[in-house]
Amino acid sequence: MALSLPDGLRRSVALADYTTWKVGGPATYFAEPESTEELLALLHWAKGIGCSQRVIGAGSNLLISDQGLEGLTLCTRHIQGAELETSSGLVEAQAGEPIPTLARRAARAGLSGLEWAVGIPGTVGGAAVMNAGAQGGCTAEILESVTVVNPQEPSQTHTIPGAALDFAYRHSRLQEEPLVVLSARLRLSPGHDPKTVSQRTSANLHSRTSSQPYQQPSCGSVFRNPEPQKAGQLIEALGLKGLSIGGAQVSPIHANFIVNTGAASAGDIDRLIAQVQERVMEHHSIALHTEVKRLGPFEDIALAA
């Protein structure tokens, strides 16, 4: 007897359509819930049949294997919404709320603290997991708490204070535990002139778009900066801008971006990442670690995940 699928659940969906790199094979099962309730119901279904599950947001920090992903893949980008308290600066945001949208909305409300986030093509949930940051700001500075669920206990949600998330550079404990972010509480600084905050926000966006390859599919910065040095500068110093494997290319605009020039595979990108890591290790004796997260099976070629 054929397996009965919940409403909205689809089989064999190409995940390239759900990542900013535009690569990735099919998901065995795929759904885009439009509410937390739908998400929890799908997690219940997956648990009931013993199906593995994973959650993606805007797909802006993922490299998904050309072989795709087994089990259930849930995309939260339609679980949107945010409530802003202009007097206190508290913001309650759903996991799929786009960070740029929230940054602009906060600026118009005279809330400061998200100006740095306007150029990040991700979601609130993803920002919490990755401790996303830019322009000198990061999620850890403004995140008060997250509401999460363990897919193995989908009937119970939990709230974790930001102070308990072990935040570090592009890291949180949410990367190590099987928890799904449902929403986040942020605290911004209230009482600012909306025009001034909006101008800072727009200036940050212009700075990013004028110095980074926003016209081509990418994941944003590929490598973490090995402080105090910058990954892009190390790569550029080796003359690697423009280096290509298949359809993947180290951007001629910014060396810490790898772009899909039109026909890249996930394998092309993975091999190019490894080649850059090898060259930087050989010439600088520095191991570059990736910001991007790999999902699915890859060849064991990368020096540092």
- Within-domain flag for 140: yes
| 71 and 22 both lie in a single domain | yes
Give the tens place of pLDDT for each residue, 169-209: 999 999 999 999 999 999 999 999 999 999 999 999 998 88
Residue 205, domain member (yes or no): yes
CA distance 69 to 25: 7
Residue 220 domain-assigned (yes or no): no
152 and 109 belong to one structural domain: yes
Looking at the predicted structure, is the pLDDT value of residue 300 above 80?
no
φ, ψ for residue 46, nearest 5 deg: -65, -40
Task: Assess whether 101 and 207 both reside in one domain.
Answer: yes
Q: How confident is the model at residue 3 (pLDDT cuts 50, 70, 90)?
A: low
5 located within any domain? no
Taking phi over 0 as left and psi of -120 to 50 as alpha, with beta for the rest, 285 belongs to left
Give pLDDT tens digits for 81-126: 999 999 999 999 999 999 999 999 999 999 999 999 999 989 999 9
Q: Which of 10-24, 41-55, 287-301 has the lowest mean pLDDT?
A: 287-301
Instruction: Provide the pLDDT for residue 303.
Output: 42
DSSP state of 215: T
SS3 184: strand
CATH number at residue 247: 3.90.78.10
Last residue of a domain, one of 211, 239, 262: 211
- Enclosing domain of residue 265: 231-295
- In this structure, the answer to whether residues 62 and 145 fall within a common structural domain is no
Q: Tell me whether strands 180-187 and 143-149 are parallel, antiparallel or unpaired.
A: antiparallel
Same domain flag for 25 and 124:
no
Q: What are phi and psi of 228, to 5 degrees?
A: -85, 5
Provide the terminal-to-terminal Cα distance of the chain, rounded to the nearest Å: 42
Residues 6+ away with beta carbon under 8 Å from 50: none
Question: Across 135-204, where does the E strand assignment appear?
Answer: 137-138, 143-149, 157-161, 180-187
113 and 145 share a domain?
A: yes
Contact (CB, 8 A) for 85 and 104: no
Residue 79 and residue 94: Cα distance in Å, rounded?
6
- Are 41 and 85 in contact by the 8 Å Cβ rule? The answer is no
At 70, which CATH number?
A: 3.30.43.10
**Is 287 a domain residue?**
yes
Residue after which a domain boundary falls, among 75, 95, 121: 75
**Amino acid identity at 85:** E
Higher pLDDT, 135 or 4: 135
**Same domain (yes/no): 22, 60:** yes
What is the edge-to-edge ordering of all strands in the sheet holding 26-31?
Answer: 10-14, 26-31, 69-75, 53-56
Indicate whether 302 pLDDT > 80: no
Task: Look at residue 189 and give its three-state secondary structure.
Answer: strand
23 token code pair: 């690569």
Q: Furthest-apart CA pair in the chain: how many Å? A: 62
Does residue 171 fall inside a structural domain? Answer: yes
Enumerate the active-site residues: 170, 221, 291
Q: What is the pLDDT of residues 141-164, one digit of tens each?
A: 999 999 999 999 999 999 999 999
Q: How many structural domains does the chain have?
A: 3
Q: Same domain, yes or no, for 123 and 88?
A: yes
Asked if 113 and 188 sit in the same domain, the reply is yes
Q: Cβ atoms within 10 A of the Cβ of 55, count?
A: 24
Phi and psi torsions of 8, nearest 5°: 85, -10
In this structure, the answer to whether residues 93 and 204 fall within a common structural domain is yes
Cβ contact 205:103 at 8 Å: no
Do 150 and 47 lie in a common domain? no
Q: Which helix (H) or strand (E) holds 24?
A: none
CATH value at residue 153 = 3.30.465.10
In a domain, 32, yes or no: yes
Give the residue carrying structure tokens 């935040």: 167
Q: For residue 142, tell me if it sits in a domain.
A: yes
Give yes or no: residues 254 and 133 share one domain: no
> For 261-280, how does the pLDDT look when each residue is reduced to its tens digit (9 = 90+)?
999 999 999 999 999 999 99
